[in-house]
Amino acid sequence: MADRAFQVARLPGFNTIAIMVFVMLYLPIGLLVLFSFNAGPSVAIWEGFSLQWYPKAWGNEQVRDATIRSLIIASSAALISTTLATMAALGTTRRKRSPGQTMIYVMINQPLMVPEIVTAVALLIFFASIKVATGYQGLGYLIAAHSAFCIPFAYLPIRARLEGMDLTLETAAADLYATPWQTFRHVTLPLLMPGIIAGMMLAFITSLDDVVISLFVKSAGQETLPTYMLGQIRRNITVEVNAISTLLLGLTVIMLTVFFLLTRKQD
């Protein structure tokens, strides 16, 4: 009788280890969500169910300002990074392989390979010199920094979509005397749109959740929601922070679910 093929799931203790990993990953998140509904101010002692912390969090002017600022930065960064990532993906897939193409791919994905703290320090030095020269202290620096950091997150799903697309329709459009722009607008772009939307959502979530780059680049009075929460935790952990974290978690889960639905392989 032939031996059965090797399967990791059949190893002794596999199920126990898998369960322990999931418990360690999701139990803290579950407790965070649970205590966001705590009736009392404690983050460790359950005092009953209540929704009071959600309206209190939104009633906090600092929370509202930080939330609006974070949404503006994340939306702008997602739009800019996705536009640049789309052009980069087209430039690296719709051409014949050439010397240096691998280096181009590495440079585009550099923020994923370099520790975020290194990128943050580099951006701090770069933007500090511009601030001194121009005197401008606005949100443009945060938007530019987040856009640069989010490009590879938008690039990967867009490139994957392009590589999985059949070139037949584009070739047929060219055979019918369509210009390159007409082919892109009427054929490539509609087929690529799921990848673009997925890349934009991934860039939006990455920007919305970012702490390190925001801390290094922001000017005074430019707190984003993650940096505001970090500052609150350093002073005193409150259930209000739990409520904000739960809302961010819910938004992230929704966005990633849509991302999965858009990028999963169709039959």
CATH of the domain at 97: 1.10.3720.10
Name the DSSP letter for residue 165. Answer: S
* pLDDT band at residue 146 using 50, 70 and 90 as cut-offs: very high
By mean pLDDT, which of 21-25, 102-106, 183-187 is the weakest? 102-106
Residue 25 lies in a domain: no
Q: Provide the 3-class DSSP secondary structure of residue 49.
A: strand
Residue 91 lies in a domain: yes
- Tokens linked to 72: 């503006």
Mean pLDDT of all residues in the chain? 84
- Tokens linked to 17: 């280890």
The predicted structure's pLDDT at residue 75: 93
Residue 261 lies in a domain: no
Task: Tell me the per-residue pLDDT of 46-100, one tens digit each, with 9 for 90 and over.
Answer: 888 888 888 888 888 888 888 889 999 999 999 999 999 999 888 888 777 767 6
By mean pLDDT, which of 1-5, 135-139, 143-147 is the weakest? 1-5
The predicted structure's pLDDT at residue 264: 67
pTM to 2 decimal places = 0.80
Contact 70, 225 (CB under 8 A): yes
The predicted structure's pLDDT at residue 237: 66
Which residues on neighbouring strands pair with residue 202, listed in sequence order?
none
Q: To which residue do tokens 């490009």 refer?
A: 151
**Cβ contacts of residue 255 below 8 Å, gap of 6+?**
201, 202, 204, 205
Residue 24 lies in a domain: no
> What is the C-alpha separation between 149 and 127, in angstroms, rounded?
14
Residue 254 lies in a domain: no
Question: Residue 159: which H helix or E strand, with range?
Answer: helix 140-164
pLDDT: is 167 or 28 the higher one?
28
Residue 52 lies in a domain: no
Domain that holds residue 200: 60-235
The predicted structure's pLDDT at residue 267: 41
Residue 30 lies in a domain: no
- Tokens linked to 213: 């780059």
Residue 150 lies in a domain: yes
pLDDT score of 2 more than 60? no
By mean pLDDT, which of 80-94, 114-128, 137-151, 231-245 is the weakest? 231-245
Q: How many separate domains does the chain show?
A: 1
Radius of gyration of the chain (CA): 23
Task: Tell me the per-residue pLDDT of 193-246, one tens digit each, with 9 for 90 and over.
Answer: 888 988 898 899 899 888 899 999 988 888 888 888 888 777 766 777 888 888
pLDDT score of 161 more than 60? yes
* pLDDT band at residue 183 using 50, 70 and 90 as cut-offs: confident
**Cβ contacts of residue 73 below 8 Å, gap of 6+?**
139, 142, 143, 146, 207, 224
Sign of the CA dihedral with 130 first, then 132, 134, and 137 last: positive
Contact 40, 238 (CB under 8 A): no
Contact 120, 212 (CB under 8 A): yes
The predicted structure's pLDDT at residue 1: 45
